Structure formats: structure tokens, C-alpha cells
């Protein structure tokens, strides 16, 4: 097992057996970065408390240094040494949604190095529900910093093959746990007095958060473009994420209007991204289905976006997802993939 960092690894795709987890945990204890499955998307995991290990994540991913990482824990016992205080709303959210796809921004202790939090006084903390992730954290014995395991700017990886494609040669191993159950990254929230601010929508929806706290504010960065020099609550909002090479435009319209518009305004080579086959029937355009409901769309979106590039598709018109429940997360990701190009009919 090599321990010297380089960018020329013979990247191993491992199963999720206990011996593979043990192997990956040993690499993490030595300061390496490994590909880790979670219920949301695959992550690039390293010891969150080791600045050198964390800086290797930034190198492997090509990530801007001012974008902080989420710290993953396996048990509530781990949280006290990481954060200075837990607001009551955070305790309620932890009870209700952890383990699961929710990240809470909390005041950090000094034990979390600056490189992990990108110099912020806070850290994003998440307790994943994926069994392999939990076993890896416990076996490594340290909290794991992990961003999504894509090259910066590419769609997040929801399969081990996606991680391999982006990270081959850049990390020593990837634990393969099949397709991610959720498919979009965790919901990110911050606490402001008695309010919860939603910074990134995910599988845990605004509606569900409202069952815990009366005052849930949806940050305007969730559905609007943020200027590059803007001061934002979450640095990740600034970056053009999830960008496939294809030029995507969202068509925000009832299905009949969308069909009429596509018949009149699209060219034969254009591709329609629709919910199901019948949406595009009779239009004479190639259709790619990304799921008949929001949950399925969340699970498939990134795989579909990656597929557009693999197929060399140039121009795509996408049916707009629902903007409620997990649909808001699908809309938020698709908006970024589309560079905020929306035609509202
Ligand atoms: O589901 C997920 O959250 C996945 C899996 C691997 O756990 N991870 C993930 O990490 O999506 P990443 O690095 O791709 O996205 C983290 C987001 C970024 O938008 C970042 O700006 C924000 O969380 N974030 C992290 N720490 C923060 C902090 N202290 N304050 C505000 N935003 C923070
Ligand atoms: Mg990411």
C-alpha cells in the first residue's frame, strides 16, 4: 500500500465488503483520499481533521479553495468535539432526519482545520445513512471530509463508474456500493435565531423541515443565479455546477404548451429531456426520459446529464421539474446544468 501522494494512482474499484472497508479506512488513516458511497452521491473522503489529507481532496477534484467541505460523522458522540453549540432546531433536525441526507451548518471548534471549512467559523456536518459510509467512518475512527466525488464542474457521481471516470489515477481506491438511493446531494441548512435557512435543497424538503420549525426561509440562491463576487451564505452557490457540455434550456410550461413550442422551435438534431416517452410522442425528436416523478428524477438526473456528453449531444430542451418537495432539488440542479437558461411559456 503506497503512502506517498501522487496523481498517478492505480485506482482500485473495490466492493463494499468489510475487508475492502478496512483497506480504505487504513488509507484514510494514512492521509489518503478514497471514493466513498453515500445515499446521496459518491464522495471523496479524507480525515477531516488532517489539513494535509483535506488539501489532497481539493487537488484531486480541482476544487476552488474557498468552497468548504462537509464533515461526515457516524454517531452523535462524534459531534461534541466538532461543534461549539447545537441550537434547539439543530437538535430537533438531528432527531428527525439523521442519519440521512441533511447537512447542518454549525459553529465549528478549532479541531476542524481551516482548509476543511475554507476559513469559515462554521462547518457543515452530516450523518449519512448509507451503511458502507457509516462503516468506513467508524473503522477509520475519524470524521470524514467529503465533497461530491466529481471533477469540479462535472455532474455529481451517483455510480462508482462515474467516480472512476473522473478520478482514475487521482485516488487510490473507490468503494462500490451500486447506484445512490437519493441521487442528489444533501439538503444544506443554516440556523438563524429561531429560523432555518435552506441553502441547498435536497431529499429532505422545505415542507419536511417546516414540520420541525415554523420558520423555514428558502435562500434566494436556491433558484436564482448568484454573481461571482456576491457575498453568499454558502460558497457552493457561486459556482457553475453540474455542467454538461451540452447546451441545456429548461422549458417551464404545461405539457401541451411545451409540445407545441418544441414542434415549432426545435431542430431535428435537438434532444428533448422529458419525464416519460409519451411527453415527446409524435414530435419527431429524440427523447431522453429522466423519471416520471420527482424522486425518480432526483435518482436519475446526474446519470442522464453525464450520458448527454457521452453521446456527444449538442442542444437539449428539458421539461421543467416540479418545484416542490424533492422536485425543488431537481430544479435547482437542472437550473445550474442549464446555466440558468429558462424559457417560461
Ligand atoms: O450529499 C452530500 O452532501 C455530498 C455527499 C458526499 O455527502 N457532499 C457534497 O459536498 O455534496 P459538496 O462539497 O459537493 O457540497 C457541499 C456544499 C457546498 O455548496 C458548500 O459551499 C456547502 O455545502 N458548505 C459546506 N460547508 C459550509 C459552511 N460552513 N457554510 C456554508 N456552506 C457550506
Ligand atoms: Mg459537489
pLDDT tens for 282-315 read 999 999 999 999 999 999 999 999 999 889 999 9
296: its cell numbers? 425518480
Q: What is the mean predicted confidence (pLDDT) over 316-342?
A: 96
Taking alpha carbons only, the member of 309, 304, 306 closest to residue 288 is 304
Do 67 and 203 lie in a common domain?
yes
Do 79 and 198 lie in a common domain?
yes
Do 52 and 186 lie in a common domain?
yes
Show the domain range for 48: 2-222
Which residues fall within 8 angstroms of residue 96, CB to CB, at 6 or more apart? 211, 212
Q: Give the CATH number for residue 284.
A: 3.40.50.11030
Among the bound ligands, the one closest to the CA of 188: 1
Is 83 inside any structural domain?
yes
Do 289 and 208 lie in a common domain?
no
Identify the residue whose C-alpha is closest to ligand 1 atom 18: 236
- Give per-residue pLDDT as tens, 70-81: 999 999 999 999
Distance CA 121, CA 109 (A): 8
Is 232 inside any structural domain?
no
Is 215 inside any structural domain?
yes
Distance CA 297, CA 56 (A): 32
Query: Which of 72, 180, 188 to mutate for ligand 1's pocket (most ligand atoms within 8 Å of CB)?
Result: 188
Distance CA 301, CA 303 (A): 6
Q: pTM for the full model?
A: 0.95
The answer to whether the beta carbons of residues 11 and 168 sit under 8 Å apart is: yes
CB atoms within 10 A of CB 343: 14
- Give per-residue pLDDT as tens, 27-69: 999 999 999 999 999 999 999 999 999 999 999 999 888 899 9
Do 87 and 37 lie in a common domain?
yes
In this structure, the chain runs to a length of 345
Ligand 1 site: residues with CB under 6 angstroms? 38, 40-41, 43, 67-70, 101, 103, 105, 117, 120, 122-124, 126, 146-148, 185-186, 188, 200, 234-236
Specify the pLDDT at position 7: 67
Amino acid at each position: 500500500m503506497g503512502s506517498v501522494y501522487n496523481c498517478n494512482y492505480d485506482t482500485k474499484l473495490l466492493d463494499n465488503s468489510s475487508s475492502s472497508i478496512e483497506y480504505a479506512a487504513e488509507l484514510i488513516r494514512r492521509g489518503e483520499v478514497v471514493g466513498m458511497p453515500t445515499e446521496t452521491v459518491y464522495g471523496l473522503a479524507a480525515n477531516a481533521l488532517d489539513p494535509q489529507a483535506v488539501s489532497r481532496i481539493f487537488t484531486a477534484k480541482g476544487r476552488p479553495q474557498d468552497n468548504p467541505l462537509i464533515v461526515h460523522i457516524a454517531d452523535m458522540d462524534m459531534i461534541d468535539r466538532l461543534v461549539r453549540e447545537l441550537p434547539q432546531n439543530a437538535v430537533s433536525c438531528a432527531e428527525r432526519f439523521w442519519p440521512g441526507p441533511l447537512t447542518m451548518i454549525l459553529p465549528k471548534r478549532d479541531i476542524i482545520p481551516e482548509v476543511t471549512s475554507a476559513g469559515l467559523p462554521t462547518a457543515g456536518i452530516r450523518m449519512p445513512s448509507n451503511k458502507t459510509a457509516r462503516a468506513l467512518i467508524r473503522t477509520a475512527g475519524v470524521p470524514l471530509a467529503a465533497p461530491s466525488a466529481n471533477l469540479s464542474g462535472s455532474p455529481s457521481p451517483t455510480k462508482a463508474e462515474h467516480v472512476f471516470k473522473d478520478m482514475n489515477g487521482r485516488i487510490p481506491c473507490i468503494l462500490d456500493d451500486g447506484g445512490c438511493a437519493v441521487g442528489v446531494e444533501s439538503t444544506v441548512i443554516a440556523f438563524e435565531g429561531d429560523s432555518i435557512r435552506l441553502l441547498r435543497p435536497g431529499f429532505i424538503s422545505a415542507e419536511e423541515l417546516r414540520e420541525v420549525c415554523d420558520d423555514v426561509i428558502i435562500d434566494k440562491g436556491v433558484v436564482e443565479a448568484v454573481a461571482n463576487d456576491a457575498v453568499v451564505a454558502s460558497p457552493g452557490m457561486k459556482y457553475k455546477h453540474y455542467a454538461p457540455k451540452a447546451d441545456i434550456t429548461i422549458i417551464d410550461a404545461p405539457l401541451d404548451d411545451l409540445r407545441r413550442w418544441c414542434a415549432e422551435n426545435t431542430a431535428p438534431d435537438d434532444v428533448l429531456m422529458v419525464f416519460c416517452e409519451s411527453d415527446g410522442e409524435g414530435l419527431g425528436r429524440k427523447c431522453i426520459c429522466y423519471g416520471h416523478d420527482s424522486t425518480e428524477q432526483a435518482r436519475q438526473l446526474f446519470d442522464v446529464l453525464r450520458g448527454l456528453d457521452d453521446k456527444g449531444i449538442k442542444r437539449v430542451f428539458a421539461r421543467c421539474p416540479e418545484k416542490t418537495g424533492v422536485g425543488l432539488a431537481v430544479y435547482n440542479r437542472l437550473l445550474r446544468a442549464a446555466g440558468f437558461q429558462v424559457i417560461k411559456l
